[in-house]
A = this chain, B = another copy of it.
Amino acid sequence: MAKAEMGHDHAHSYEAPTKLTRNQSMVFSALREQEKPLTAYAILDRLRGDGLRAPLQIYRALDKLMEKGLVHRLESLNAFVACQHEACSGHSTVAFAICENCGLVDEIEDEAVNREIERVSRERGFLPTRATVELKGLCAECR
């Protein structure tokens, strides 16, 4: 994955792997250290010692990290989690299985689920650009 750190030649076919800024890498680290999803304000609390003070600093970093596919937002929790794959470039839909007991999140990429979502959209003439699939329940450890 070490790629084009010194962007000299722009082959525009893949997404450009840009280096993270200081705030972005602090926010990303905070999320990676935690297995569980964190709200923006929880991230802020962890980073106050590192000089971050305002929610906007967190939200801006999160926006960029999501663009890069390094972080996902869990709509049903208003929280954010580090991608468990190698940077989901965002093309394929991912589902999240969220344990209501321990809080762990499993990131699921499943071909058949995506295919059925595509089919049901097509059947209705709906042209999807983004899908949110979040399951709440009990994980294998907690059930």
A-side residues, CB < 8 A to B, are: 75-76, 95, 97, 99-100, 106, 108, 110, 112-113, 116-117, 119-121, 124-140, 143
Give the number of copies in the complex.
2
A24 shortest CB reach to chain B, Å: 24
Q: Hey, which chain B residues are within 8 Å of A100, CB to CB?
A: 129
A125 to B142, CA, bound (A): 10
Q: Hey, which chain B residues are within 8 Å of A143, CB to CB?
A: 125-127
Among B125, B128, B133, the residue within 8 A (CB) of A132 is B133
Contact A108 B132 (CB under 8 A): no
A to B CB contacts below 8 Å, 23 in the list: A75-B75, A75-B134, A95-B117, A97-B124, A97-B126, A106-B124, A108-B120, A110-B120, A112-B116, A112-B119, A113-B120, A117-B133, A125-B143, A126-B139, A127-B137, A127-B138, A128-B135, A128-B136, A129-B138, A132-B132, A132-B133, A132-B134, A132-B136
9 nearest CB pairs, A to B: A125-B140, A128-B137, A75-B75, A132-B134, A97-B126, A75-B76, A127-B138, A128-B135, A129-B137
Contact B128 A75 (CB under 8 A): no
Q: Hey, which chain B residues are within 8 Å of A137, CB to CB?
A: 121, 126-130
